[in-house]
């Protein structure tokens, strides 16, 4: 129990560092996280819930703003999105958050959407003439109940679990459905040549077939899906030549982003983020394969949060979509990959902290050479 509490506090401290780092690049930063009592901050229900809420809030923001960038993190404190809105009005963004809470109804008590103008200043409900939130259990203001510890933690956890099991009022957004399909490919629930049927997807997500067609069209444009005249829409099987191109494109994008991180490492707050990542990697339990896989993703999420090369980061994310099925095959058929990449990630952090651009380039080149070898091995068995 005490060890978990310390990990949660450590995660919150790290979140503050990331926020501070992002505020160096943006006029304001939005965070979307769960407001969950107790020490159990993670789980499938909680993850699905925050993903649904985030993509719905994102679709609302996109009605007003064109350029929106975000990063997602999972840690011992749960799940959190950092959102940056280019040329945005922070007060309007907060108002949209409050409007979104109205749509969520009772579920809104489980979500925190904060708009930070600085590390110590955020726009409050009161700034927009809104009353504080009401407690989940009684009619008192939630802050008062929390301060007085009026309700047993077990009672609060039970109410939260009941809410998480209830349907949310809004229909799923296009962005969430896309994310869910991509996730199914990444986890091997959908494999190359598997057929996607409009009717089945429409029932699964409880949305119109028109919205499903839009999702399919976008994922086809990204290259994840393909249209076959005889059977319809399927998950695309990339050829080795196509995979080689994707690897080269990923490498180009990573070099641009890491060069930006390298230049920003002079900033103390940015440097601390890299130092903490290196510390985690060096003390990681290498016998825990699931942890190695998790940190393969966390490594990029944390380091890329330093860079403001948003155009390149968005391109990189599209390349990652194409890489979804390959990543699943690697996780199942080439587990040694995660040990090799773990070492390369450590080398990249050291190169950044010692300010050796030559070593940074060398580590990235070696990283992609290793990936190429592993993909050849995986593709030969397919």
For residue 259, give both structure tokens: 């060069």
Does residue 6 share a domain with residue 149?
Answer: yes
Q: How far apart are CA 47 and CA 26, in angstroms?
A: 27
For residue 325, give both structure tokens: 């099925």
Last residue of a domain, one of 140, 164, 188: 164
Does residue 181 share a domain with residue 154?
Answer: no
In a domain, 169, yes or no: no
Q: How far apart are CA 340 and CA 363, in angstroms?
A: 12
For residue 48, give both structure tokens: 């699905």
Does residue 104 share a domain with residue 54?
Answer: yes
Q: Supply the range of the domain harboring residue 26.
A: 2-164
Does residue 131 share a domain with residue 37?
Answer: yes
Q: What is the pLDDT of residue 336?
A: 74
Do residues 46 and 75 make contact, with C-beta atoms less than 8 angstroms apart?
A: no
DSSP H/E element including 318:
helix 310-322
Q: How far apart are CA 331 and CA 234, in angstroms?
A: 22
Does residue 13 share a domain with residue 40?
Answer: yes
Q: What is the pLDDT of residue 169?
A: 73
Q: How far apart are CA 239 and CA 234, in angstroms?
A: 15
- Predicted confidence pLDDT, tens digits, the chain (382 residues): 667 778 888 888 888 988 988 888 889 999 999 988 877 888 888 999 999 999 999 998 999 998 899 999 988 889 999 999 988 899 999 999 998 888 888 888 889 999 999 988 999 888 887 777 777 777 777 778 877 778 888 888 888 888 888 888 778 889 999 999 999 998 889 988 999 999 999 999 989 999 999 999 999 999 999 998 888 999 998 888 888 888 889 889 999 999 999 999 888 888 888 998 999 899 888 888 888 888 888 898 889 989 989 899 989 988 889 888 777 777 776 677 788 888 889 999 999 999 888 988 888 888 888 877 777 777 766 5
**Phi, psi (rounded to 5 degrees) for 103:** -65, -40
Does residue 265 share a domain with residue 186?
Answer: no
Q: What is the pLDDT of residue 180?
A: 93
Burial 185-200 (b: 16+ CB within 10 A, else e): bbeeebeeeeebebee
Q: How far apart are CA 253 and CA 243, in angstroms?
A: 15
Q: What is the pLDDT of residue 225?
A: 95
Gyration radius of the chain's alpha carbons: 22
**Phi, psi (rounded to 5 degrees) for 191:** -115, 165
In a domain, 56, yes or no: yes
Does residue 275 share a domain with residue 209?
Answer: no
Does residue 190 share a domain with residue 155?
Answer: no
Does residue 124 share a domain with residue 49?
Answer: yes
Q: What is the pLDDT of residue 329?
A: 78
Does residue 205 share a domain with residue 110?
Answer: no
Last residue of a domain, one of 186, 208, 235: 235
Domain count, the chain: 3
pTM, 2 dp: 0.81
DSSP string, 284-295: --TT-HHHHHHH
Does residue 188 share a domain with residue 47?
Answer: no
17 three-state secondary structure: helix
Last residue of a domain, one of 235, 253, 286: 235
Do residues 224 and 322 make contact, with C-beta atoms less than 8 angstroms apart?
A: yes
Does residue 125 share a domain with residue 151?
Answer: yes
Q: Taking every pair of C-alpha atoms in the chain, what is the biggest distance, in angstroms?
A: 65
Q: What is the pLDDT of residues 140-158, one digit of tens each?
A: 777 788 777 788 888 888 8
């Amino acid at each position: 129990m005490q060890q978990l509490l310390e990990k949660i506090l450590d995660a919150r401290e790290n979140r503050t560092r990331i926020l501070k780092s992002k505020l160096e690049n943006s006029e304001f930063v939005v965070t979307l996280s769960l407001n969950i009592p107790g020490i159990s901050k993670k789980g499938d229900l909680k993850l699905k819930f925050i993903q649904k809420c985030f993509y719905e809030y994102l679709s609302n923001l996109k009605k007003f703003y064109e350029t929106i960038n975000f990063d997602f993190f999972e840690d011992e404190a749960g799940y959190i999105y950092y959102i940056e809105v280019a040329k945005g009005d922070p007060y309007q963004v907060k108002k949209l958050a409050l409007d979104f809470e109205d749509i969520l109804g009772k579920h809104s008590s489980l979500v925190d959407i904060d708009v930070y103008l600085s590390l110590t200043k955020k726009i409050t409900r009161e700034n927009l003439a809104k009353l504080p939130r009401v407690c989940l259990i009684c009619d008192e203001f939630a802050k008062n109940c929390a301060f007085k510890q009026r309700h047993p933690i077990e009672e609060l956890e039970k109410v939260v679990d009941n809410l998480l099991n209830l349907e949310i009022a809004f229909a799923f957004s296009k962005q969430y459905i896309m994310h869910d399909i991509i996730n199914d490919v990444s986890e091997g629930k959908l494999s190359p040549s598997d057929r996607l049927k409009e009717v089945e997807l429409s029932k699964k997500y409880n949305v119109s077939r028109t919205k499903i067609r839009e999702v399919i069209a976008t994922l086809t444009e990204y290259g994840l899906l393909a249209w076959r005249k005889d059977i319809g829409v399927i998950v695309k099987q990339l050829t080795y030549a196509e995979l080689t191109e994707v690897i080269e494109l990923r490498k180009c994008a990573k070099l641009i982003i890491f060069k930006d991180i390298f230049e920003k490492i002079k900033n103390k707050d940015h440097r601390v983020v890299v130092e903490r990542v290196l510390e985690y990697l060096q003390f990681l339990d290498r016998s825990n394969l699931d942890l190695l896989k998790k940190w393969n993703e966390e490594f990029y999420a944390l380091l890329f949060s330093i860079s403001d090369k948003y155009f390149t980061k968005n391109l990189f994310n599209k390349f990652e979509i194409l890489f979804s099925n390959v990543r699943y095959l690697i996780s199942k058929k080439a587990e040694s990959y995660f040990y090799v990449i773990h070492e390369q990630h450590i080398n990249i952090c050291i190169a950044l902290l010692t300010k050796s651009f030559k070593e940074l380039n060398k580590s990235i080149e070696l990283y992609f050479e290793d990936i190429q070898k592993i993909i050849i091995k995986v593709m030969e068995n397919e």
